[in-house]
Amino acid sequence: MTVTDDQHHDPMSEAEWLLRNPPQVPPLHIGGIRVDPPVLQAPMAGYTNFAFREMVRSYGGAGLQATEMISAKGFVWLDEHECEHPDRLWGVKDESRPLAVQIWDNDPETLAKVGARLATEYQVSVVDINFGCPVKQVTEKAHSGSYLLRFPERVGRIIERVVAACAPTPVTAKIRLGCTRDQINAIDVAQVVEGAGAAALTVHGRTAEDFFKGHADWDRISAIRPHLKRIPLIGNGDLDSPVKVLAAFHRYAIDGVMIARASLGRPWLFRQVQAALRGEPIPREPTVGEQREAMLRHYDLVCQRFGDQKGTHLMRKYACNYASGRPGARQFRGHVAHVGSREEFLRAVALYFPKVDDLSESAEDSPCETCE
Ligand SMILES: Cc1cc2nc3c(=O)[nH]c(=O)nc-3n(C[C@H](O)[C@H](O)[C@H](O)COP(=O)(O)O)c2cc1C
């Protein structure tokens, strides 16, 4: 698509036009929490732990960060058995705000109990409830996550109860468009969510049945907006570049966006998006050397918490994300998948993220046909 610049009458790509004319996007408010820029870091189970959040925070640009989803039943069980709170709450008490903690279950009382603890003891900024998870363990086994989209009145009861238990801490909901393509009911659910007192709604533009197939349907996300009177609508799905975020704000009726997968090996993406929204030059992709340093910083954070052995094991998958899109990524993945110690991990990193003079990296990064 080309767009004409009124002043210069030069045809230019839509991307260029958007970069020169970024949409004016005000901060959004979730209850009393100001989210600026209105670009949120998504919850991702197994990934968005303290180490990842700290990486994102170090670059900046995410208006609100979120933990992984936490089982409310699991939390209660640990509490009743006087065990330590879930690993997934690592860092939550001490890290800077704003921070959202996401919980899941299908029982209003259990969710309210945990929500209240998070609001008072942990002083989190936002309690988010998961109504979007499509994974069988959560849906079929626990009748939670996206399973609940079939039962909007249950969603409403859950939210009402959690809102009452957490007040004044705002409670939000994250949903998908529906359970299946034949059962898209996001507008109904959105109205229930708002009516029950939630402070924001995030919508991933796929159904549970879609899992991650196809494209997120942003028209359907946008169609929800006129049905909400009070709360912000946050769109989510497939945003993987600053230009795509600009285009989402330009084309669709949304108040904010949430980014998940694309940020996994690129915690600096939010900073790039923020610059694009401000009409500033977009910070370049980090050099190989900088990516290596970032990955090692991430690794140290993980090892500080879990020790070298478990830390190395966990870091295997995070390291693959950093390599994604780089020359040699496939080989790196094959290699790093088998590392078992700090030494082996560092050796793999040194091999695939070599210490080269950053000035020569443009040559090193030149496209390699055989790599991803
Ligand atoms: C590995 C992984 C874990 C996820 N875990 C969660 C989660 O804990 N809670 C949640 O609401 N969504 C979760 N999601 C969904 C994302 O938050 C997001 O809705 C989805 O990935 C679409 O956004 P994207 O296209 O930017 O990745 C997860 C997604 C991935 C890939």
CA distance 60 to 40: 11
**Ligand 1 close to Cβ of residue 134 (< 6 A):** no
CB 217 within 8 A of CB 209: no
**Ligand 1 close to Cβ of residue 174 (< 6 A):** yes
Ligand 1 atom nearest to 174, measured from its CA: 11
**Ligand 1 close to Cβ of residue 69 (< 6 A):** yes
H-helix or E-strand spanning residue 221? helix 218-222
Query: Average of pLDDT values for 39-66?
Result: 98
The residue contributing the CA closest to ligand 1 atom 5 is 44
In tens, the pLDDT along 15-50 reads 999 999 999 999 999 999 999 999 999 999 999 999
Q: Given a cut of 70, is residue 4 above it in pLDDT?
A: no
Q: Given a cut of 50, is residue 371 above it in pLDDT?
A: no
Which residues are within 8 A (CB) of 128 and not within 5 positions of it... i.e. 6 or more apart?
43, 66, 100, 101, 102, 103, 171, 172, 173, 174, 202
pLDDT at 361: 45
**What's the gap in Å between 353 CA and the centre of ligand 1?**
27
Q: Given a cut of 80, is residue 359 above it in pLDDT?
A: no
pLDDT at 2: 47
Q: How confident is the model at residue 327 (pLDDT cuts 50, 70, 90)?
A: confident
Q: Given a cut of 90, is residue 356 above it in pLDDT?
A: no
Which DSSP symbol is given to 143? S
Helices 288-323/329-336 angle, 10° precision: 70
List Cα–Cα distances, 82 to 91, 103, 112, 151, in angstroms: 19, 20, 19, 34
**What's the gap in Å between 46 CA and the centre of ligand 1?**
10
**Ligand 1 close to Cβ of residue 186 (< 6 A):** no
Q: Please give the positions annotated as active site.
A: 133
The share of the chain scoring above pLDDT 70, in percent, equals 92
**Ligand 1 close to Cβ of residue 248 (< 6 A):** no
The helix/strand/coil state of 178 is: strand
Which residues are within 8 A (CB) of 364 and not within 5 positions of it... i.e. 6 or more apart?
288, 327, 354, 356
Count Cβ atoms below 10 Å from residue 69 Cβ, excluding itself: 26
pLDDT at 87: 87
- Supply 22's token pair: 């970024």
In tens, the pLDDT along 242-266 reads 999 999 999 999 999 999 999 999 9
Pocket test for ligand 1, best of 39, 44, 87, 212 (most atoms within 8 A of CB): 44
Q: Given a cut of 80, is residue 362 above it in pLDDT?
A: no
pLDDT at 368: 27
The residue contributing the CA closest to ligand 1 atom 31 is 261
Q: What domains are defined for the chain?
A: 18-278 (3.20.20.70), 288-358 (1.10.1200)
